[in-house]
Amino acid sequence: MKKIIFCIISICLACFLFGCQDKTDIIKCELPMILVGGECCMDENSNSICDEFDVKEPEETEVQEGEEPEEEGEEPEEEEVEEIEEEVEEETEEKKETTMDVRKLKLEIIKKFNSEDMHSFEEMERENITGIHKTYDVLESSDGRFYILQIKKEHNFLHYYSNFSNFVNRMHELDIKNEKIALDAAISAISTSMNEYDYYYEPKLKEHTISNSTMFTESYSIMFIDPKGMAMDSYGEVKSIIWCTPELLVEVYPSKYIPFTYYGAAPVVKERMKSVDKQHEEDVIKGSKEIIDICEKAEK
């Protein structure tokens, strides 16, 4: 009986040993395949993990100190959108081309408007200039009627109408801002709780098309008003701004100034100022036509 039991145990043990033999002796995988779970699978990066299960972590973009990581699908900033729109707009505009340089422009203006007072241009000294005012130099005629604005750097040149229009509007808005600050300060300095003073300020910017050229006229009227509603002092200015070349703009002022009553009831003085401004504007436009003629001849 013991022999029978021993034989049975021996047979079972033999079956167990042969049945559990390592299959690596039987299944062979050629590189870059590896044996996993009794089957061959691809392992191209030789990390002993089947490629189908080898999930790579997404690479993180290194972020510099002080920077924020970009979000996927992030919209461009407003300034970037404006720049893109301006580039597209420029592509549809005609680029201004001319052979006029500043020396030739000065000579042509002097020749056209030559007089005892009008005989030269000198560089105008300016102090405490900032922002857009630093992008150009100013040449003033000897009679104080004409000013040439010469853009300093080529990347700031006004090659397209949109460049010129944006430049003029930015300058106009800046002038309004600075003028209001000065007027508010002046009124605050003279007003008291018993006597409150006021001012009237009317800036204007108009676009004109003369021949094939675009220009702007810019004007303002200022009047200080006392507590009784009477004009204490008043003054104004009218000028034109002409786009002569991408590098050169010309400002034209009236050939003569018409005097008007500075004192009186505020409504009366205001109407008088409007009438004088209109006459000054007509004079400025007349002079501007002569400048435009000079600039257009250079383009041909």
Residue 237 predicted with pLDDT over 80? yes
The secondary element (H helix, E strand) that includes residue 163 is helix 161-190
134 located within any domain: yes
Whether 119 and 252 map to the same domain: the answer is yes
| pLDDT tens by residue, 59-118 | 444 555 555 555 555 555 554 545 545 554 555 677 877 778 999 999 999 999 988 899
**Mean of the pLDDT values across residues 202-219?**
93
The secondary element (H helix, E strand) that includes residue 107 is helix 102-113
Whether 33 and 124 map to the same domain: the answer is no
Whether 267 and 144 map to the same domain: the answer is yes
| pLDDT tens by residue, 119-176 | 999 999 998 888 899 999 999 999 999 999 999 998 889 999 999 999 999 999 999 9
**What is d(CA 77, CA 64) in angstroms, rounded to the nearest whole number?**
20
Q: What is the pTM of this model?
A: 0.67
Whether 29 and 143 map to the same domain: the answer is no
**What is d(CA 158, CA 154) in angstroms, rounded to the nearest whole number?**
9
Among candidate residues 210, 267, 272, 194, the one with its CA nearest the CA of residue 242: 210
Share of the chain above pLDDT 90, in %: 53
Q: 65 vs 60, 68, 237, 294, CA distance in Å?
A: 15, 8, 52, 56
Whether 251 and 137 map to the same domain: the answer is yes
151 located within any domain: yes
Query: Given the DSSP bridges, would you call strands 39-42 and 121-123 parallel, antiparallel or unpaired?
Result: unpaired
- Tokens at residue 120, please? 């030269």
- Helix, coil or strand: residue 235: strand
Q: 125 vs 2, 101, 122, 136, 143, CA distance in Å?
A: 126, 21, 9, 12, 16
Whether 174 and 248 map to the same domain: the answer is yes
89 located within any domain: no
13 located within any domain: no
Whether 36 and 182 map to the same domain: the answer is no
11 located within any domain: no
User: Could you tell me the residue range of the domain that residue 33 belongs to?
Assistant: 23-50
Give the Cα-Cα-Cα angle 229, 234, 235 (nearest 5 degrees). Answer: 160
Per-residue pLDDT, 54: 57
180 DSSP assignment: H
Per-residue pLDDT, 57: 45
Whether 124 and 45 map to the same domain: the answer is no
Whether 168 and 255 map to the same domain: the answer is yes
Which runs of E-coded beta strand occur in 72-131?
A: 121-123
Whether 106 and 44 map to the same domain: the answer is no
Paired residues of 143 in beta bridges: none
191 located within any domain: yes
176 located within any domain: yes
Total domains in the fold of the chain: 2
76 located within any domain: no
Whether 28 and 141 map to the same domain: the answer is no
| pLDDT tens by residue, 96-107 | 777 789 999 999
Whether 145 and 35 map to the same domain: the answer is no
